[in-house]
Structure 1
Amino acid sequence: MRQLSSTEREQVLTFIQQSQKILAIKYIRHLFNYGVSEAKHDVEQLMINPDFEPQIKEQQSDQPSDALYQNLEHNENTLELFLTRNNGEILLIDEQHPEWRAVMLHFNAREFSTKQDYINAMRLKRNAEDLASIQQQHQDQQIRNASMYYKNLLQALQIQDRKNNLIIAISTVTILTICTMYLMVGH
């Protein structure tokens, strides 16, 4: 067990004085691998009494730490959860594992009481992401269709405009021919 160093104490008290209690709690958690409730307790005690001396356990290598976790994956077929640590170690994990709570908080910023709750939440999240992707694809397709429709409409209008110009040109030539013939016959 050890106490806060003067630098650590100063930093926590600075956070408290700046009304940043959450940062003070995160700072304590980060430094000493405390859970939220332990860190909150010590920060609240320091808010009441800046001379309060919290007793901080030394971090041991077998204790969970946010810095130790790299990835959390689940196998959809076997419904197993695999935790990958930064050192490459892969562990099978469930709600019985001593690091369950810390792992859930690290990767999800919330707790899941069972492995099934976690898997269900991940399925819902994946389904929501899939739905959003499908909706985006549908919207993109509608934009492409509208763009193609307007492009075809513009081409049709240009063709019609050329036809109209041709009709006007033919009509003009016809009128000029008739006028020329009239003038030639009349004289």
Structure 2
Amino acid sequence: MANPSIQNDFSFYRRVLQRRRIGSVDMEEVEVNSEMANKMSLFYANATPMLKKLTDVMMKFVTETRSLSIDNTTDCLSTMSSVCKVMLERPEYKNRFMNEDTAFFCLRVMVGVIILYDHVHPVGAFAKSSKIDVKGCIKVIKEQPAPSVECLLNALRYTTKHLNDEATPKHLRAMLQAN
């Protein structure tokens, strides 16, 4: 999402690679061969390639592991979001951070877990039956310095699967749409 031009860059690279092949330049010296460039291009074709890969891998793992239910997976994700939220909203925990980047890391983990939960859970993170306190998480995000969290709010706005469902409470949609 932060670098949408990367797909165009790979397309350009693949065209240059093709021209070099036609010109019979020694392809041994090429660091990324044509096959790898094609795979990378397909990876970056998604707006959020890492999220797509994580979601696919998690869904494959849950469906192939019969002993592990989707509920266990979503319970783990909701617990991770709760831990991050509590660490950020309570001063007695947040003051323990030695580095300022730790708080932003916790924010990114919290947002990533919410998005992953929303993609993996059948009704998503925004439904009333969700085990994630999305309202509380959004409040914590909005309490942080504005320039650093706009990208996180955008990630919730544009990469979640169930935000615009009819089952999503209007106040949650309004919280994310408000600036």
| Rg larger for | 1
Whether TM exceeds 0.5 here: the answer is: no
TM-score by length of 2: 0.21
Write 1 or 2 for the structure with the bigger share of strand. Answer: 1
Higher RCO (C-alpha 8 Å, min separation 6): 2
